[in-house]
Amino acid sequence: MASGYKRILLKVSGEALAGDNSFGIEPPFLQGVARQIADVARTGTQVAIVVGGGNIFRGMAGAADGTDRVTADLMGMLGTMINALALSNAISRQGVKSKPFSAATMPSVADTFTARDAKLALEEGFVVVLGGGTGNPFFTTDTAATLRAIELECDVVLKGTKVDGVYSDDPKKNPDAVRYAHISFDDVISQNLKVMDTAAFALARDNRMPIIVYALDVAEGLSGVLEGRGRSTLVGDHG
């Protein structure tokens, strides 16, 4: 069934790609995510993806160990590129055309991202997988996801992660945390709810870009979440 969305931006958690491990990519999990994405793309919904890198390297952790922050963030961005290549290839193996783009120039690895080229690829039926975050240190791939969604004129950001929505507190640390079905940008920011960083929420709020937070391993799959089935939280000022 078609989702009703013409074009979506999916943020795939890097940390979740490690599956039951603490580092790297678990192939069955990667294949499962690729299958869900291919199912949605086959319905005619255009899919752009931003991939995180928490399964490989986070700049803050590198900086805490003494590496200068800009270098550590470059290392983090390169980690997201590894995930982007793996995910794009896994989607292609599902029989759906996919093309990786990089925010940083690395011509032998992937085309450099421009909104114009990525939009053309989407219109030609490619699932585009965007690595390298925003290309700038001191940002995150959550902010990159919101930024790219706005640049590519997507209808919605889907944040696919390890938890099934936005809670009153981190559900991994507080078993009494309560999940919201819907929450406004102002509330998620003023309550300092950490499922995404404040910069990403503020950018989405200022550009009226709704965000749906859901668990990548949801039984109903990405298509189910897009159709309103499966647990998730809608962050936005309308609906």
170 is in an annotated binding site: yes
- Binding residues among 26-55 for ligand LLZGTKA7 as defined by CB under 6 A: 52-54
Q: Which stretch binds ligand LLZGTKA7 (CB under 6 A): 1-9, 36-44, 134-142, 206-214?
A: 134-142
Write the CB contacts of 17 (distance below 8 Å, at least 6 apart in sequence).
Answer: 25, 26, 29, 30, 33, 51, 55, 83, 86, 87
Query: What's the min distance (Å) between Cβ of 161 and ligand LLZGTKA7?
Result: 10
On whether 13 is known to bind a ligand per the annotation, the reply is: yes
For residues 143, 227, 166 and 175, what is the CA-based torsion angle, rounded to 10 degrees?
A: -140
Asked if 77 is part of the footprint of ligand LLZGTKA7 (rule: CB under 6 A), the reply reads yes
According to the binding rule CB under 6 A, does residue 100 interact with ligand LLZGTKA7? no
Q: Of 34, 59, 211, 230, which one interacts with ligand LLZGTKA7 (CB under 6 A)?
A: 59
Interaction partner, residue 129 (ligand ATP, ligand LLZGTKA7, none; CB < 5-8 Å by kind): none
Q: Which is nearer to ligand ATP, 152 or 215 (CB)?
A: 215
Please name the residues in contact with 232: beta carbons below 8 A apart, sequence gap of 6 or more. 164, 165, 212, 213, 214, 218, 225
The answer to whether 54 is annotated as binding is yes
Q: At what angle do helices 27-42 and 69-92 cross, to 10 degrees?
A: 60
